[in-house]
Amino acid sequence: MTTDHSQPSQGESQKAAIVTGASRGIGAAISARLARDGFAVVINYANGADTAGDLRRKLEASGGRAMTFQADVSDASAVARMFDAAEATFDGVDVVVNNAGVMVLDTIAASDDAAFERVMNINLKGAFHTMREAARRLRHGGRIINLSSSVIGLRMERYGIYAASKAAVEAMTAVLSKEMRGRAITVNAVAPGPTATDLFLDGKSPETIERLAKLNPLERLGTPEDIAAAVAFLASPDGAWINGQVLRANGGMV
């Protein structure tokens, strides 16, 4: 484990957010947007300490406060240590964004147990570990924001395991929103459509990418910043009355 952070100012009461899988792609965009909106940010990563460190320095250069924390979200003890570090550095946690995820595509018939376990360990068990810590530790009025996927509605071939992991996250989102009664904590999910990230683009032909971009009426891929804007809304005071919902940020695809 490596921890790298800037020290908070004495007497400062700033809201803090943990973003999992935050070193690149959508997670990095979410971290940057929340920092711009005034949050101190915990940049979680499993691999790629250099990339996470570069993002931290970028946020600090823009006047933000950030720390990096290496943790595999499938490891419950590592997630607990991440919350410990966030509380020690920023005096508490107000927002948790469950963004860490992996995508393994194949038909159900051709998928092996290793692929199933890898996707479920990160996408579902990882989200569970983080939601559980957030439910125990978030300050009054906090936000839990889970990343789902619009492939649940599309039901595309070869996405069976991935879609199943995200469908389970949506179910837990709805349940946890009710369990937070009395603490003014909202629990929602954002379900991106096809978004121009390395995770999405990897292994796809230009023709496939173009076809997927045309599925929504706006006829383009989403950007990480599009998704970050949806997350920022739910994390903001303007999102306080949204609870137990799935916001499908996909350009109108489904």
Helix (H) or strand (E) holding 68: strand 66-70
Would you say 1 and 81 are in contact if contact means Cβ atoms under 8 Å apart? Answer: yes
Could you tell me which residues are beta bridge partners of residue 210? none
Is 159 a known active-site residue?
A: no
Q: Given the residues 69, 90, 159, 162, select the one marked as catalytic.
A: 162
**Rounded-to-integer distance, Cα 82 and Cα 88, Å:** 10
Assigned token pair, 236: 């903001």
Amino acid, res. 15: K
**DSSP symbols for 98-121:** E---------TTT--HHHHHHHII
Query: Is the Cβ–Cβ distance between 152 and 167 less than 8 Å?
Result: yes
Please list, in sequence order, all residues whose beta carbon lies within 8 angstroms of the beta carbon of residue 75, skipping any fewer than 6 positions away. Answer: 129
- In angstroms, the CA 114 to CA 123 distance is 14
Q: Which residues are catalytic?
A: 162
